[in-house]
Amino acid sequence: MIDRLRFHETESNRLCAVSTLLDTKFKRLHFRDSTAVTKAVIEVDQSTRSSSEEHSRKQQLK
């Protein structure tokens, strides 16, 4: 109960949510809010795509 009160906003914190999702010990297991995990997954996906596209552009310039 105390942990719920202390960490109730952790899932809505973007950095904490993404970190939890990327940590192989936790992944999606410890998310209580399905919306929070969906937002974290979308953010990781967008970030990965953006990085990949940037890398491709740099490779084309070489």
- Does the pLDDT at position 6 exceed 70? no
pTM beyond 0.75? no
The per-residue pLDDT for 10 is 79
* Burial per residue of 6-40, b for 16 or more beta-carbon CB atoms within 10 angstroms, e otherwise: eeeebbeeeeebbebbeeeeeeeeebeeeebbebb
* Tens-place pLDDT, residues 22-37: 887 877 777 888 888 8
- State what percent of residues in the chain have pLDDT above 70: 85
Q: Is the pLDDT of residue 42 over 70?
A: yes
| Beta-carbon contacts of residue 40 (< 8 Å; ≥ 6 apart) | 14, 17, 18, 20, 21, 31
